[in-house]
Amino acid sequence: MPLASGARLDLVLLPIHRWIWGDSERRVRKLLAFAEVEADGGRDILRAAEVTADPLLRRLYLAHAIDELHHADLFRQRGAALLRSRSRYADTSSRSAWDASGDHGLDDLRVEDEPDESLLAFLHLSEKAAAGRFALYRDVVRDDPPTRAVFEEILRDEVFHMNYTYTQLARVSPGSYGWKLWRARASRLWKRYLRMAAAVAGIFGSVLLTIQYFVLLPPFAWLAKRAARREPAGWIPAPGARHQPPTSQY
């Protein structure tokens, strides 16, 4: 199976993936985050089954949605089993950009607004990326046979999803499926670039604010303290103050 560009990047980042999956708390967090992504994807594909006018695609989308919701159950059950086996509770609410996403990425798409060929092209690329990533994770968790079995089972479905979306794309758009795939790939790359640019901008912003805090603020704090030391203590009369009694109207 040819690897998607994201999967090739994952291979380069293999040591980081090993580090992430090597910790039981991170492993639980990843599995539960995958469960959310798969369930979201399943609901979106269910919506696609509702709105498509193509009866064959409706049946395939329905089967696909059931698979994704089943994947969500598998990930959730495995994450819960690992969580139960641990002595202390792990915070599973925090989720960062780098440790989430099984790469279905349907949050990038409004299913109702997309024609079948665009949705199929997007789904094909997403399933291909997910299959590459899950194959990598399956190999990374060799020390945990039940988790490895979950990835093994899900991977078979993802490969089927990757293949049927390609076949159906070629059926519904025989003259331009290559162009549709190219456009979907460009759109995914652009959205990935925007996410990375936003993350980098956030890091730069934090660094600049920290530098400002330690470099620009101290001189102002020193000047303020010096001005405060020069102020006489207690009440002082205001310059040019009037001396009428406070009860006088004028």
Residue 126 — φ and ψ, nearest 5°?
Answer: -65, -45
With respect to Fe ion, which residue has the nearer C-beta, 90 or 185? 185
For residue 128 the two structure tokens come to 């291909």
CB of 55 to Fe ion, least distance (A): 21
Nearest to 147 by CA among 6, 12, 9, 30: 30
Site string for Fe ion, 121-150 (x = CB under 5 A): ------x-----------------------
Question: Stretches 3-11, 64-72, 108-116, 221-229: which one binds Fe ion (CB under 5 A)?
Answer: 64-72
With respect to Fe ion, which residue has the nearer C-beta, 68 or 116? 68
Site string for Fe ion, 4-43 (x = CB under 5 A): ----------------------------------x-----
Beta-carbon contacts of 102 under 8 Å, excluding residues fewer than 6 positions away, are: 34, 37, 38, 41, 71, 130, 133, 134
For residue 220 the two structure tokens come to 């102002």
CB of 103 to Fe ion, least distance (A): 9
Distance, in Å, from the CA atom of 162 to the CA atom of 168, rounded to the nearest integer, reads 10
CB of 41 to Fe ion, least distance (A): 6
With respect to Fe ion, which residue has the nearer C-beta, 60 or 82? 60
Distance, in Å, from the CA atom of 177 to the CA atom of 55, rounded to the nearest integer, reads 20
